[in-house]
Amino acid sequence: MQAQKAEVVVVTGASAGVGRAIVQAFARRGAHIGLLARGHEGLEGAKKDVERMGGKALVLPTDVANAEQVEAAASKVEETFGPIDVWINVAMASVFSPAKEMKPEEYKRVTEVTYLGQVYGTLAALHRMLPRDQGRIIQVGSALSYRGIPLQSAYCGAKHAIQGFTESVRAELIHDKSNVKITMVQLPAVNTPQFSWVKSRLPRKAQPVPPIYQPEVIADAVTWVTDHYRRQLFIGLSTVIVIQGNKLAPGYGDRYLGKTGFNSQQTSQREDPDRPNNLWAPVDEDRDHGAHGAFDAQARDRSLQLWADTHRGLLALGGAALASLVGVALFGKNR
């Protein structure tokens, strides 16, 4: 009996946070994984995770804002492991700052990493998947792909751009009757190291807006959607409320966030204005930060909304069974 071929997966932003958790989830499946990020120690830590969990890893130091580096990394993955089955775009950068204090070069850099990084990754994947007429591309988005919030105008703008880009590509794939599929997963607030290394002009330390989820919740959703195609998957009830609520009452969202959005993104601790940030250079070059940030105590390790969304058949079956029981009870009562 022929052994089943291992999945070949590429993850950008693989060294820390959500990307690191996704790497770990695919490693448990025995995948062969191309690890794209900038920081040496973070990448080496991710590689050790993969090998310890039963997969194989290829470390590829890459700045996703450089299209040539992304294309070269994709070629190296296929030379080493064979055809890429799944490409997951995770890499991001942000600046916590009022727009009036932002610099043009900061907007440019955040856009190049967060938006163009996903564009370049998608193009590298399509160049290889389209001729074979198979493959999965997964874009890691956010509730902020639909609803901008204060103090993160560069990041929100980039996430909105990814949403529009992905919808265009999806429509083209449908037109071409391609079996290559593209999915966008929309995230809630997640406990990752980015809040300790993102560039910030805030007086107090940055934090994700509660409710906060562990990165493993996102990783499990990504592996699920790899096996069960959805055009889009919302993760966390807060994501559903933000996206759907913004469709109904965007003006209310503006006013609410204008009043609450500054404090909700900061802890009570003072920020060090001189600490290192990762906008221009990696912070995990000499130290592996792993998947989790500083908010383990507040973070949730499961989402009931996500479970329900990914078990629709089971819920429908349970609903039908309950309806049958009610019907039998009423029938017996009325006899």
CB 75, CB 50: distance < 8 Å: no
Q: How many CA atoms lie within 13 A of 254 on its CB side?
A: 5
CB 137, CB 28: distance < 8 Å: no
- Assess whether the previous peptide bond of 104 is cis (omega < 30° from 0): no
**How wide is the angle at C-alpha 285 spanned by C-alphas 284 and 287, nearest 5°?**
55
Beta bridge partners of 34: 10, 58
155 catalytic, yes or no?
A: yes
User: How is residue 9 annotated by DSSP?
Assistant: E
227 vs 220: CA distance, rounded Å: 11
53 vs 223: CA distance, rounded Å: 15
Could you give the 3-state DSSP secondary structure of residue 7?
A: coil
Query: What distance separates the 2 farthest-apart alpha carbons in the chain?
Result: 79
**How wide is the angle at C-alpha 138 spanned by C-alphas 114 and 225, nearest 5°?**
140
State the DSSP string of 105-124.
Answer: HHHHHHIIIIIIHHHHHHHH
Catalytic residue among 155, 229, 252, 256: 155
Angle between helices 117-132 and 67-81 (to 10 degrees): 40
**Token couple for 290:** 């792993």
Q: Which residues of 194-227 are buried (b: 16+ CB within 10 A; e: fewer)?
A: bbbbbbbebeebbbbbeebbbbbbbbbbbbbbbe
- What are the residue numbers of the active site? 155
